[in-house]
Structure 1
């Protein structure tokens, strides 16, 4: 029979460290304990709960179904303790620890990574783990603490706020724009396109539909390579508007006859997403506020 009165916060903190770091060794280092103490205390917690929280493997630990069920309540306890300490303290709580942030590669390279110097200046004890893969991390499975998404996620466990809406435009290096002048046909310029794995993207579909006979100088699904190729003058590409100023690019001029195509340029809405149980944790709240300051369009409502 479970005796939940014997569960202590220190045991929950230990459980969270083991879950997040995946090995007893890393959890012990983070908590300032030795590995045998971590193993012994975790076994004692499992005995109180009446079930295993982790499967021990040669490479570390893997959460059992019981461990997965325990995660959200444990993080809710962590967030509640953070609020308690913050509210009862005469001074602002120290922001420290690791925040895992999931962002699409292009945004990570051009906007997020360069901005981290300002976040570091505000919170020098904060550590960011930036997941800049194309695959979207699953916040409900705690693969990330915060994410910036183009598609609005759904879920009762998620907190979501709109950052900005951004239109894509046809752009190129200033020299190519000047040499081409106003285009009467999209085929007048070479293009940088997406590879087959991202052919369903709205920008890729526009290029296939409106410029079917385009001279494709480069196909790549690596957004950084697209930006580099466009900046070097290899061709034009459909790009989100904010990248133009940062990367020194110019919009293509076009004849009025092309306006129906222009009306079909995609519009993205960016969403900031977090897990409800972690939203008030000081380390997560600090990054959330920072991302709102950096990415939200002036005049948008606060969230």
Structure 2
């Protein structure tokens, strides 16, 4: 019989608590230490929970416990039970719940390098029990399928299971190294500059479209869809680039001055939005809630 993430209704909270500790620590002994129980008690209770569910939750290996597919399926419901239990205790006593465990965060690579990674030391100092798994690939992970717990997106995803809040909006601007900006002076034509732009796989990306429209005859010094490489090349003076304004504060880039005749084209620079997105069922799980609040505080201030 297939086990769904909702199929925990007959399980006792004490057994769910043990399941979560085993999932987070990967061994009977470490889970027992965390919970103040001996190893035999932890093992017995795990067996009882597996009997209730009618499925095996962990493979026992020489390296420790490895969660099965069933364990990953029931994990969201177990964490929701944990969040509800902690809310009950918090409401009754006013005590704060501990935030601990893995939070998987999906962020575009350029933004991850420039804005997320530099905050992680502060996050760890505030929540030492939280461990971040950062996916900074260009692939968009599916939060509804639990490929990530939280995501930072430039487009608000649709879906009843998702919650999102806008953190910021930023305009793209023409920028270059200080030396190149000084040598270019007051730009009279966008074609007069060497440019760094997106590769052909992202030719329909708004900044690439802007450059194709307003500087069709420009020398292209570099094409790459890896944004961090664009930033580095621009900092080194290889060419001008369109970058979101917040990047000027964290990289050695200077906005280009331009003639009044270019104001109409500059008014067409794209605008990006930044959304923090999570799964509704995980929003109140302490580890997810803590990272959500932290990112809200850190990135809304930029």
The alignment's TM-score, normalised by the length of structure 1, stands at 0.82
Distance 2:269 2:128 in 1: 41
Residue 31 of structure 1 corresponds to which residue in structure 2? Answer: 31
Kindly state the Cα deviation for residue 227 of structure 1 after the two structures are TM-superposed.
0.8
Cα deviation for residue 53 of structure 1 reads 6.6
Q: Which of the numbers 146, 163, 174 marks the counterpart of 1:170?
A: 174
- Aligned match of 2:79: 75
Looking at structure 2, the residues matched to 30 and 137 of structure 1 have their Cα atoms a distance apart, in angstroms, of 31
Match runs of 1:57-72 below 5 Å: 63=69, 68=73, 70-72=74-76
Cα offsets for 1:31-69 (capped at 9, x unmatched) = 34999998876665454335x4769799966526x964x
Task: Pick closer, same or farther for the CA change 1:211–1:53 going to 2, 3 Å.
Answer: farther
Q: Which residue of 2 aligns with 1:301?
A: none
Unaligned runs of 5+ in 1: 299-303
Distance in 2 (alpha carbons) for counterparts of 1:30 and 1:218: 52
Aligned residues of 2:26 and 2:66 also touching (Cα < 8 A): no
Q: TM-score, normalised by structure 2?
A: 0.83
1:87 maps to which residue?
91
Number of residue pairs aligned between Structure 1 and Structure 2:
291
2:281 matched to which residue of 1?
A: 277
Tell me how far 1:182 sits from its aligned partner. 1.3
| Residue aligning to 2:295 | 291
Residues 167, 296 of structure 2: 8 Å contact kept: yes
Question: 3-state DSSP class of the match of 2:218?
Answer: coil
- Corresponding residue to 1:159 among 163, 166, 177: 163
User: Considering only aligned residues, what root-mean-square deviation do their CA atoms show, in Å?
Assistant: 3.3
Q: Deviations over 1:101-142 (max 9, x none)?
A: 111111111111111122222222222221111112211111
- Contact 1:79-1:277 at 8 Å conserved across structures: no
Whole-angstrom distance in 2 between the partners of 1:39 and 1:235: 62
How big is each residue's C-alpha offset from its partner over 1:169-224, in whole Å with a ceiling of 9 and x where there is no partner? Answer: 01001111111111111111111111123222211221222222221111111111
Shift of 1:73: 3.0
Distance in 1 between the 2:8 and 2:276 partners?
Answer: 36
Q: What is the distance in 2 between the residues matched to 1:222 and 1:97?
A: 31
Matches within 5 A, 1:65-214: 68=73, 70-214=74-218
Deviations, residues 141-187 of structure 1 (Å, cap 9, x unaligned): 11111111101011111111110111000100111111111111111
The one of 240, 243, 263 equivalent to 1:259 is 263
SS in 1 for 2:26: helix
- Which runs of 5 or more structure 2 residues have no equivalent in the other structure? none
Q: Is the 8 A contact 2:174 2:255 kept in 1?
A: yes
Change (3 A) 1:35 1:153: farther
